[in-house]
Chains A and B, each alone.
Chain A
């Protein structure tokens, strides 16, 4: 079979994410630490149990938006990292507030999705892996904890195996070939259309994460849904405005 780059037709944002993650690998630890600070501050409100909490988290996200947008101009990879970390922390919050099948599977999928969204988030995984037994809502016997851990980490393992298999068939993507080389030459990815695409993609992902983490839980009903949607639009618009002002 002819080896082809599996990312040849990948969306701009994802391609640039991989590129940036590769370029920023040396500072991945630093990014992870920075991401942890911001996300950690948000994490305690994730998984709102009351209407007030949901509003609070949304307000914080809206207020933070220009800050995050500015961060996108200097180090876009941080956005992906933040998005990925937010997703995972949201999953953790749900598991804390609504322990059960849905939250467990949700967290498992977020762990896998987080790695796709930002390779940088992998830096958080050893800690997460080590703390998995403590996360289990079923702690009455070690076999149950092992089963829970397996459920949590299997999506990531399957993703890795699937990707490995495809890479084995089609070959690993050549990072020196276009479009990666071209992207790397763009530097900060902020002054051209590709940068705008990448930045907006990141903003959208963060927005989605924000909606996910601040979305109405059971009991908040339709009004909460409306608020969430409206705030998301505001959030994205704020990001675009901030980007335009600075750029």
Chain B
């Protein structure tokens, strides 16, 4: 049968890209016309019962699920590539970072710069004092919002840890796992092992490893490990931009699952995570479109950088995001382990292929469309960046993405139902203080610290002139309370996990902030000159990752030997 299919070419006029989702769901594709004009269908073997094979109502060619998907891929590759790049850009141009600033934003920015320039020319001191006042009030607002979130996070009654009742196997939905891969050959053994460990019925897992056409090394490694036998391999054709969201968009229409989750190459989700997510969706209201698992690191204790990174993640995923959920504010999603309703995601236009933190952006878009995100009490462990250069590259991409996301959501209006004043304020605080606060504070910090050090060293009166009257008090509050508070928040962040041994690393947080500021300036430069460039993070470089790779490779070899036996 398969030979026959290979001999006969598919008739393209019988299929339509608009029907792709239908073909994927039904696992049937009109293939060719038979001798008497009847249409012969291509079907995945799981969709055809034994009776249907014996007594088909219409002519079908039954192939393996993999072959069915590959046929779809070959047929619609061009359309899928274009859709992956431009669906959101074309259907909701305001929501896409393809254009960073729209006309009114550009005019507004120009106006602000002009006013500032004129003011600085005529009254430089007053202008600087004004800028200082704005920055100070912004800082204090950030501090206040973070304190509120931290207080909520520390209150067990305010952020209950709801565990949805587990589902029986027969009630579990099909879940699609997307794993975009670029230059990740070294991570494949550990990835395969982590995916194999997932406790979920195999027939209800639709795992797709997504490769870039240009990345022959990772594809070769996947072939060497025989990953094609266990997972579906999808190759994304070359096109601009070459980003993770574009790769995910490319594979999204092929998803069989009603839920879809994205994992990164180095991810190790807790084995029961997908079960928990399925249960959470089953128990959740219809407006819950996303369930985000927590992220942390398996090599948190490797060096000072990984310790601080782990503290930051613990603060973000274990404390601040649950608090954001509590106040019904938009949640900037983490780049991995976010479970989404496939249909909702498709309706929203998928991920923004031009946003380099498509995850954070999607969280904001979901909230604006009236959907909610819930945090899942399950952790995906990743590899923390242990080298400064690699960390800077990753962080500058995140910063650039936050800038893109902020610009997009500054201009986009809410589609959601009418919000209460409290919810509306929380939503604005989430975008302008929580998300934008990340890069604004990183950009401003070095300037303020430089002024402070200059004043400490010289005691110059020129600096004192910038802090007249109560502004000095507010600045001192922001300086002392702000810095101490953020150090303390980092220190207490790992308490929920009982990782108090990481707490002393929080004393090094100021050094970490300096790195963050460097990344922010690098991001700003790239935002102007290379806005869609995906700064690649190298994985598999830490000692823990290398050890895991060695163990996973050994395990794979044993597995192959056993199969050979």
Contact = CB atoms under 8 A, between A and B. Distances in A.
A24 to B, nearest CB: 29
Interface string A1-31: 1000000000000000000000000000000
A155 interface: yes
Give chain B's interface secondary structure class: helix
Contacts of B258: none
A146 interface: yes
B480 A105 contact: no
B480 A165 contact: yes
Contacts of A165: 480
B481 interface: yes
A102 B156 contact: yes
B498 A138 contact: yes
Contacts of B154: 101-102, 105-106
A102 B500 contact: no
Given A144-B501, A147-B500, A150-B503, A101 B481 contact: no
A154 B488 contact: yes
Interface string A27-63: 0000000000000000000000000000000000000
Nearest to B156: A102
Interface string B470-503: 0000001000110010011001101110111111
Contacts, number: 66
A148 B488 CA distance: 12
B488 A158 contact: yes
A143 interface: yes
Interface residues of A, number: 29
Contacts of A145: 500
Interface residues of B, number: 23
A165 B491 CA distance: 22
Nearest to A148: B500
A42 B107 CA distance: 66
B51 interface: no
Nearest to A163: B480
A154 B491 contact: yes
A151 B500 contact: yes
A104 interface: yes
A103 to B, nearest CB: 9
Contacts of B504: 146-147, 150
Interface in A106-148: 106, 136-138, 141, 143-148
Contacts of B196: none
A166 interface: yes
Give chain A's interface secondary structure class: helix
Nearest to B488: A154
A192 to B, nearest CB: 32
Contacts of A104: 492, 495
B464 interface: yes
Contacts of A223: none
B185 to A, nearest CB: 36
Interface string B227-262: 000000000000000000000000000000000000
B500 A144 contact: yes
Contacts of B64: none
A151 B491 contact: yes
Contacts of A229: none
Given A1-B464, A166-B476, A101 B495 contact: yes
Nearest to A106: B154
Interface in A202-235: 218
A146 B501 contact: yes
A173 interface: no
Among A102, A146, A169, the most chain B Cβ lie within 10 Å of the Cβ of A102
A155 B498 contact: no
A187 interface: no
Contacts of A138: 498, 500
B497 to A, nearest CB: 9
Interface string A79-119: 00000000000000000001011101110000000000000
A218 B157 contact: yes
Contacts of A146: 501, 504
B461 to A, nearest CB: 10
Given A158-B484, A162-B484, A165-B480, A105 B492 contact: yes
B149 to A, nearest CB: 14
Contacts of B223: none
Nearest to B502: A147
A101 B502 contact: no
B470 to A, nearest CB: 13
B501 A101 contact: no
Nearest to B496: A101
Contacts of B414: none
Contacts of B551: none
Contacts of A1: 464
Nearest to A159: B484
Among A105, A141, A145, A155, the most chain B Cβ lie within 10 Å of the Cβ of A105
A68 B501 CA distance: 42
A102 B155 contact: yes
A175 B484 CA distance: 28
Interface string B505-525: 000000000000000000000
A165 B479 CA distance: 11
Interface string A156-185: 001001100110010000000000000000
A147 B503 contact: yes
Contact of A147 (B464, B484, B487, B501): B501
B215 to A, nearest CB: 41
Interface string B183-212: 000000000000000000000000000000
Interface in B162-178: none
Nearest to B493: A101
B495 A100 contact: yes
B492 A141 contact: no
B264 to A, nearest CB: 28
Given A102-B154, A102-B155, A158-B488, 14 more contacts: A100-B496, A101-B154, A143-B500, A146-B501, A147-B494, A148-B503, A151-B500, A154-B488, A154-B491, A162-B480, A162-B484, A166-B476, A169-B476, A218-B157
23 contacts: A1-B464, A100-B495, A101-B492, A104-B492, A106-B154, A143-B500, A144-B498, A144-B499, A145-B500, A146-B501, A147-B494, A147-B499, A147-B501, A147-B504, A148-B503, A150-B503, A150-B504, A151-B491, A151-B495, A151-B500, A151-B503, A154-B488, A162-B480
Closest 5 CB pairs of A and B: A147-B500, A101-B495, A147-B503, A143-B501, A158-B484
